[in-house]
Amino acid sequence: MGFFSDARPGLERPGRGNQWDPPAAELPRVAVADALVLARTEEVAVAVTAIWAFRAGFEFWLRCQFRHSGPALADQADDQSLHIGVQFADGRKVANMARVPEAAESMPAGLILRPLGFGGGLRQRSRSYWVSPLPPVGPVTFVCEWAAFEIGEQRAEADALLIMDAARRSVQLWPEDNG
């Protein structure tokens, strides 16, 4: 059984509450600035290019680099699209590949994966994801598969201690505004 067959779906729609968004009153610290290559073929490479840590979670940047002009990704069927997942050392995992409940309150307690920013051009696409809460000690595994490019399940790991240490050093700008 593969990673994506039983991973809990991430949050594809904005939720409400502190856990669903990066803190607005905090500046992150860079936890990992080296690229973690998840997959590379003759046509595309997929990598986590940065991890920024906050006290409540972390944001990671995913980059798809195309050898030639990339496809219109929005037009890909769900079973052909890029699937991304995160797994913590304690076994919790979450992925971006399934329908999600309408409201954040209906999500089960646990790991959150929410897309945030995106951008790109003809030969690259980037997207950031918010993950909450912070991971426990051990590896944080990033997983991808992309049927449209014949990429089976691929993995790369980062040390959770790097993320946890950076989170402790994040900069609190002012008290969190709850209104």
Instruction: Confirm whether 30 is domain-assigned.
Output: yes
What is the rounded distance in angstroms from the CA atom of residue 151 to the CA atom of residue 174?
44
Say what the pLDDT of residue 81 is: 81
pTM for the predicted model, two decimal places: 0.83
8 A C-beta contact, residue 160 and residue 137? yes
Residue 101 lies in domain: 3-169
Render each residue's pLDDT in the chain as its tens digit; 179 residues: 688 777 766 554 444 455 778 888 898 999 988 899 999 999 999 999 999 999 999 999 999 999 887 665 555 656 678 899 999 999 999 998 644 433 334 344 578 998 888 888 778 889 999 999 999 999 999 999 998 899 999 999 999 999 999 999 999 998 876 54
User: Does a structural domain hold residue 176?
Assistant: no
The CATH code of the domain that includes 49 is 2.60.40
Q: How many domains does the chain have?
A: 1
Q: Does residue 139 fall inside a structural domain?
A: yes
pLDDT for the residue 122: 79
